[in-house]
Structure formats: structure tokens, C-alpha cells
Structure 1
Amino acid sequence: AGKTLIAMSGYASGTQSHSYFPTSQGSVPFSTAKGSSTSDAPSANSLAGVGIFFQQDAETNEVFVKTIVHGGSAERSGVIRVNDVVVRVDHESVEGQLLSSLRSRILGPQGSSVTLGFRRKEGLETTYYDVPLVRGSPEYFDSLKASQPLQDEIERLRRANSQLESQRARDAAELQRYRSHMEQQREEFDRKYLAMDEALSAKEQEVARLGGEVARLMAHRREAEAIRGDLDQLKATYKDDHRLMDEKEAMRNQFVEELKKKHDEEKARLEGAIKRHEIEAAAQRRERVEGELRENR
């Protein structure tokens, strides 16, 4: 098809089959057969892959799945297919990168995890997916299977411990929530108590002020009652004086009437006396005239 392909084994372990990758620049081995002394990969005991042989299209630079190793992590996942194109390693895009760069990203300590993202084209439909994989050879997974009961027990204990830790975290969170709630309640109580104390103090001050007002009013009342008593006494005295004045006026009027009566009586007496004197004088004059007349005869 006119394409130059570069291949990379998913393993760096010396127990895997070898593969060579023809390029226009020559052959570059990424993994070798057991006992081979020609390899530029790191130590076989330190690094492992995920059970995939990759190839890179020299024209598009797409790295795709060429072969899936039986018993490896990729086959055990049941998801990855031949010709799926690698687009992400641990959620970071690797599109357009060289196979050698991907190799350093995919290989790692046996038993460690790596997440690969793939693009799959089926007809006109293109889908993307991520697969978490455990690095290791088929023999590694077989050994894991042999020690599975122990691993299961360890996993059970881990889950139990995780549950205990989760419960402890929940209990701690609940305790913290309870403490926060109690602190809020205490602060609210303190605020309410302070408000009540301030209100009580204000009430006590108001009661004291009202007590002072009552005392002043009582003093004013006593003073008013004393003044009223004085006024009543003055009124009684005035009534007595008025009665005495009325009595004096009556006595004066009676005295005046008596004086008037006496005056009238005296006047009448005097007038009578005067009239008698006048009569007597007239009689005397008449007698004198008559006497003179007799003498003159």
C-alpha cells in the first residue's frame, strides 16, 4: 500500500516473542527474544507492557494495534481490537507522536497501571474509548491467578480497611459536623443570652426609672394632698369667716334697723314735742294777746 510501518511490542520482558520493525532507516528492535543480547529496551526485569504489538503508519503517524498477545492485559480486557488507533496515554493526547515516545509512556513496572485511549473506525462511525490496563506478562498474570486466594484475601482486607477508613472519615466528618453544629448552637445561645441579658438590663433600668417616677409622683401626690388639705382648711376658714361676716352683716342690719326705728321714734317724739310746744306757745301767745287786750280795755 506504499506505507512504511514501525512496530513496538507491548512487553519489555525477555520471555516474550521478538519483533523487528522495518523502516526506511533500517531495523530498530523494541523487544527481543529470551537470551537475545541485542536490545535498546530497559532491563527486562524492571519494565513490562500491556500485551500489544503496535505499528505506526509512516504517512499518517497513526499508531495502531497490530497484534494482541494471548494471555496479556489487553486480551484480558476484552475490549481492544486489532487496528484500533492509540490516541491517549493516561488521558494525555499522543496523536502524531513517534512510536519511541509512546514506548516510554506505555512501558512501566510490572503490576502498575496505565490507561490507554483508542479510536475505532467501523464503516462511517468513529468511536473513542479508554481502557485501564495492568502492565505485565502472561506469566505474571498466571502467577497472580495462582496466588488469587491470597490476593482475594488481601483485597478483602483492603476493602474492609477502606470501608473502615471511609467509615472513620464519615464518622470524623459527622463528628466535625456535630461539633460545628454545637458550636453554632453555642454561639446562637450566647447571642440569645447576651440579647436577653441586654434586654433584662434595659428592663431593670426602665423599672428603676419608673420606680423613680413613681417615687416622684408619690411625693407630688403627698404635696398635692397637703396643699389640698391646706386649701380645704382655708376653705373651711373662709366659710367660717363668711358665716361670721354674714352674721355681722345681719347684726349690722338689725342694728341699723333698730337705730332707724329709734330715730323714727325719736323723730316722732321730737316732732310731737315740737308740735306740743308750738301749740303751747300759740296758746301762750293767744293768752298774752288776750291778756293785753283785756288790759287795754
Structure 2
Amino acid sequence: MKDLVEFGEQNQTKLGEDTTFTQVMTTIKGIKTEFDNLIPMLGIKSKSETEEKQMSRKNLEKICFNLSGLLVSYGNLKSVEIFRNITGYTMTNLQRVPSEQVLLNAQKLQGICADNAGEATLAGIDEEAGTALSAAIADFDQKINDPQEFRIQHRELRKGIDQKLEQYNDLLNNVLKLYVRSKYAESDAALYQDFLSSIEISGSMVRTRAIQGIFTDAVNGKPIRRVRVSIDGQKPQVKGGEKGGYFITNLSPGMHEIAFSRSAYVTVVKKLVILPDQPIVLDVAFTPVQIEEASMS
């Protein structure tokens, strides 16, 4: 779009009185302005939100593990039944369950402490420990949906960008190219060649690293390796190292559909607009098949 707008400005003397060309270019300039306003927003990365959520969860897990240990130990020592029956707070259990369950377990532990405040204090859970638990619950409750909200916003943003690109391509291919060829291909061959050059996608615009990110398990956050990645229906390539990191190279600018698949997980399909000067960070979280099946039953 930028080169086309520059072409119009550089040839204002020749094209300024061409009403049809001017009207179409006015619309294209409007699309470009809206497009340029949307693009910088793609610079927002979801990675920081995801990392903050993981740190918040680990902090909450640690606090629950420590406090539950104090309560169970005291319950066994003093035969306090409600404390003795506390289960599910080992680090293994806490790390294995979904984030929502961790939050529910923490709130349940908080309730037990509140309902048995005197005994909880004797077990070693003082006011400072209770405050730390409350703060950790509030923090994780806030962060638990942050990456999801980011993805929703990001999806809407890309939808807006896609719409602008579709409007531009429609005007370019169905109106402007036909008009300029009909009017100037023979009468002003040099001008027509300059026009064609302004709408070409240069080979240098093919990106060396178009997309990069991390593959993780949506339940436990652990990295996933050896994911099959298919671009625009082509033969899949295996991506993802020991830490789940991956990158996709040499994608031309424009719309691409990318499918990420791994055995025992639900396939993830993304539609992305690749731009020549905007790297994309795309972290992919895979849902285990059994969880997907359970949610559908």
C-alpha cells in the first residue's frame, strides 16, 4: 500500500486530474491510515502475560503446599479431623490439575482456615501467612484469564487487519489495476510500468523468520516438542525443540492458514496475516484429547 500511495503522490502532475484514479486512491489512503493504526498494536506480546500467570500459579501452589502441610501435620498430632482429611495439596497434584482447579483448591483451603481460625493459628498459620494466601489467590484470580483475554483481543485485531487487506485487494484487483491498464498501458507505458512496480511484492519481502513461539500443554504448562506444522495445506514439517520453542521461516506476506498437530492433543488451526516488517510471536497451547472429549460429553 505504501508504494502505491507514493506512486500516486509522485505522479500527481499526470494523475491529479484523473477523477477515477483520484477517487480510488482517496479510498485506498483511508484504508492505509486505518491499517497503519492497527499494525503497531500487533507489537503487544502474549508471552509476558503467560509468564506472569505461570509465576502467579507457582507462588499459589507453593503457599497451598506449605500451609496444607502445617494443617495436616497438626491435625494428625492433635486429632483434628478436618485438618487430617485435607488432601490434594501435594506439589504433584497441584501441578497436574488445570489452573481453575488450583484456584478452587486454594479458596477451599482459605475457607478451612477461616472456619477454624483458632486451630489454624495453633497449627502455625499466623495472620501473615493468611494474608499471603489471600493475596496469592487474588493475584492468580486476576491473572488466570489475562492470556485468554489477550488472545481474544488479538484475534479481533487480526480480523480488523484482514478486513482492511480484503478491501484493499478488492479495490486494487477489481478496480484500479483494470482501470490503469486500460487507460495508460498504451498511452503512457512508462507510467504504467511504474504503477506495476508499485504494487509488486518484492522477493526481499519474504521473511527469514516470520513466526516464532513456544508449544505448551494447556493443562500443566509443560513444553511440547515434535509438533507437526502444516502451512496452507502443504506437507507437515516437524517443529519444536526440547523447551518447546519453534520458528517458521520464509513465509511470503499475506494470509496463511497454519495447522499445528500432535498425537494425544487437539489440533490447533490459526489464520494469520504475515507482514514484511512485523514478526509474529505465536505461543500455541495444546489441549489433551481426553479433556476436550470430556468437555463435549
Q: TM-score over 0.5 for the alignment? A: no
- Alignment TM class, shorter chain as reference: under 0.3
Q: What is the TM-score of this pair, normalised by structure 2?
A: 0.23
Structure with the bigger RCO (C-alpha within 8 Å, sep 6+) is: 2
Structure with higher Rg: it is 1
Give the TM-score normalised by structure 1: 0.23
